[in-house]
Structure 1
Amino acid sequence: MSWTDERVELLKRLWNQGLSASQIAGELGAGVTRNAVIGKVHRLGLSGRAKSPAPAAARPRKATRAPSHPMSHGAHQGGGGGGGVRGNLALSSKPAVAPSPMVYVAPTPRPEVEVVVPMSERVTIMELRESMCRWPHGDPTSPEFRFCGAKSPPGTPYCGYHAQIAYQPSVDRRKKAAPRA
């Protein structure tokens, strides 16, 4: 596909008439894509254009309902109970008082029973058995390095306490990793 002088003139005329890039691509035909039209318009520096023709019948907007509960959205804002429409749809001449900012309340953490395994019960890798917790304690390069050694359920590598730490649902991990504002 090459941009001939005729195609460029047609592109300029259709662009100024307010046609979309897809419509212009359809008019030009012969392998001209919407993206090719957008790129050429950008390279030509075309900007100000006529508004696209309005559809035959505009869709009516949905009517907003007034708050049903006396303490709902608009009633407690001090704006005088005149509706709950705010933002770019508001037609009120008096400004509405912004509600207080939302405060994040962290969910109550589930109770975790801390396992305190005495140093005497912690085990080395040589003492570790199938039914023992494999949660590491300490620096693996030091001679004091041990594993938890508490009883673990069959088929799992950790005791109940360490399993809660190791297997957190992904939602919980994202909440903990998210920076607090």
Structure 2
Amino acid sequence: MNWTDERVEMLKKLWAEGLSASQIAAQLGGVSRNAVIGKVHRLKLSSRGRATASPARQKKSAASGGGGGGARRQRGGSRPVTASVGATALKVQFEEDAVAYQQLRPVENVVVPISRNLKLVQLTEHTCKWPNGDPLSEDFSFCGNDAGESSPYCTYHSRLAYQPASERRRNR
């Protein structure tokens, strides 16, 4: 299918009226939605008019109280809003609602052990192997505190290294 001057003008007119790419493709015939989007992008059409809703849709919107008067959703999440920005034909922007963040309280009974700052050759099977600092620097060392039989780390560093799966999921 070739884009004739008449078809391009019709595309510009329908785009300015606010029709979707699928609606424009249906009216032009013989062209896909993606072809319309590609042509709109190449023509750098950015400003669009608003498509007028059908009378049945307007009645439904008015009956549900969903008029366009700045009504916002009360629950968290986001609502996709299709808009044309710059040279992009159809770019979905998200209107975000405010989300309440949970504030974490510091744990009061955490004791950070004083590191013994052992070098690699000083480590044994029962010393904590938690690295301190940059391995390429001269003052690099390991924690060196007493480690349990089943862990390479002391109690404090084990809590840092091994977090429960539920904690990891919550932190994402």
In the other structure, the counterpart of 1:108 is 105
Give the C-alpha shift of residue 138 in structure 1.
6.3
Structure of higher RCO (CA pairs closer than 8 Å, 6+ residues apart): 2
Amino acid corresponding to residue 109 of structure 1 in structure 2: P
> What is the TM-score with the length of structure 1 in the denominator?
0.50
Task: Find the aligned partners of 1:23 and 1:157 in 2 and give their Cα distance.
Answer: 64
Give the C-alpha shift of residue 12 in structure 1.
4.3
The structure carrying a bigger strand percent of its residues is 2
In the other structure, the counterpart of 1:7 is 7
> What is the TM-score with the length of structure 2 in the denominator?
0.52
Task: Find the aligned partners of 2:17 and 2:148 in 1 and give their Cα distance.
Answer: 74
- 1:152 aligned residue (142, 147, 155): 147
Percent identity reads 38
Give the C-alpha shift of residue 126 in structure 1.
1.8
Q: Give the count of matched residue pairs.
A: 134
Give the C-alpha shift of residue 18 in structure 1.
5.0
In the other structure, the counterpart of 2:78 is none
Report SS of the residue matched to 2:122.
coil
Taking structure 1 as reference, are residues 172 and 125 closer, same or farther at Cα in structure 2, changes over 3 Å only?
Answer: farther
- 1:132 aligned residue (124, 127, 131): 127
In the other structure, the counterpart of 1:88 is 70
Amino acid corresponding to residue 88 of structure 1 in structure 2: G
Report SS of the residue matched to 2:156.
helix
Amino acid corresponding to residue 147 of structure 2 in structure 1: S
Alpha carbons 2:120, 2:141 under 8 Å: kept? yes
Q: RMSD between aligned alpha carbons?
A: 4.2
Alpha carbons 1:137, 1:147 under 8 Å: kept? yes
Cα shift readout 1:112-137 (whole Å, capped 9, x = no counterpart)? 122235x5xx5332231222101234
Task: Find the aligned partners of 2:102 and 2:53 in 1 and give their Cα distance.
Answer: 49
For structure 1, list consecutive stretches of 5 or more residues without a partner in the other structure: 64-86, 91-102, 175-181
Alpha carbons 1:123, 1:148 under 8 Å: kept? yes
Task: Find the aligned partners of 2:131 and 2:154 in 1 and give their Cα distance.
Answer: 12
Give the C-alpha shift of residue 4 in structure 1.
0.5
Alpha carbons 2:127, 2:145 under 8 Å: kept? yes
